Structure 1
């Protein structure tokens, strides 16, 4: 009887351990697949889904040198894309053209580091062809999301958006943290 209880307890502990590791393992694997798809896109010029059932692909990479943070940006600012990485929001999802490039991400995961970005920080954006462009942070604002306030941004700028405040991961936020960066020539 004691052996059965010990076995059942061990199996239950194993199930809980697997369950606890599932989300971090899935997050790690998805980042590896996204980075691989980005590298392949740069080599071939053809977008590659990170996994067969994905409805998005990598379109750019951002680098924040001062805080040593790099990330791959997915196409489409929908909930599915945002679950795996920061995502470029249509119709502003084409880097290196004369429109702003707008990227959204979750405050408690992929864009949690935005609170460490300061005025005059340099952000590097790399497109699929390996062309890089530098941007300098010119404004950091907190805006009310419920007013449908239109963002006023210059052409050829980079805009990063996440929910605010950073330390409040519960529920919906009525505020957005917006970083605007001007393209350097």
Structure 2
């Protein structure tokens, strides 16, 4: 979806930045307990495929995962259109939603 508002994320992952015609990394956010629950099982070297709006597919390979405190470290979206960044809340099994920790997966073409 073309937003990371709470309303949009209720229906699916949202685009934060990047994409076709952009020099920024394609950055998507989604809920940890629905659409992005699979992030917990990713490992370095795993492949991800993104289908763009025009139907073309772009393949990425996971290069890193990290936990970031969103209150202490603002998200820096790199100027790298060959990167995919996936973001969700952390921990995956948190009982209370809305904490400051984010799980960030970075993948490269």
- Quickly name the TM-score band, shorter chain normalised: 0.7 to 0.9
Aligned pair count? 108
Query: Which of 166, 176, 180 is residue 102 of structure 2 equivalent to?
Result: 176
Instruction: Report Cα offsets for 1:24-49 as digits up to 9, x if no partner.
Output: xxxxxxxxxxxxxxxxxxxxxxxxxx
Aligned pair partner of 1:155 in 54, 74, 80: 80
Which runs of structure 1 show a deviation greater than 6 angstroms over 4 or more consecutive aligned residues?
A: none
Q: Relative contact order (C-alpha < 8 Å, sep 6+): which is higher?
A: 2
- Equivalent runs, 1:98-177 vs 2, <5 Å: 98-151=23-76, 153=78, 155-156=80-81, 157-177=83-103
CA apart distance, 1:100: 0.7
**For the Cα contact (< 8 Å) 1:76–1:93, is it kept in 2?**
no
List gaps (5 residues or longer) in structure 2.
Answer: none
Q: Determine the structure 2 residue equivalent to 1:65.
A: none
Partner in structure 1 of residue 13 of structure 2: 86
Displacement, 1:150? 3.2
Cα RMSD over matched residues? 1.7
Q: Which sits farther off after the overlay, 124-133 or 136-145? A: 124-133
Output the CA distance in 1 between the equivalents of 2:95 and 2:2. Answer: 24
Give secondary structure in 2 for the equivalent of 1:181: strand
Select the structure that is richer in helix. Answer: 1
Normalized per residue, the structure richer in strand is 2
| Cα pair 1:153 1:180 within 8 Å, conserved | no
Structure-1-length-normalised TM-score? 0.54
Check conservation: 1:160, 1:178, Cα contact below 8 A.
yes
TM value normalised by structure 2: 0.88
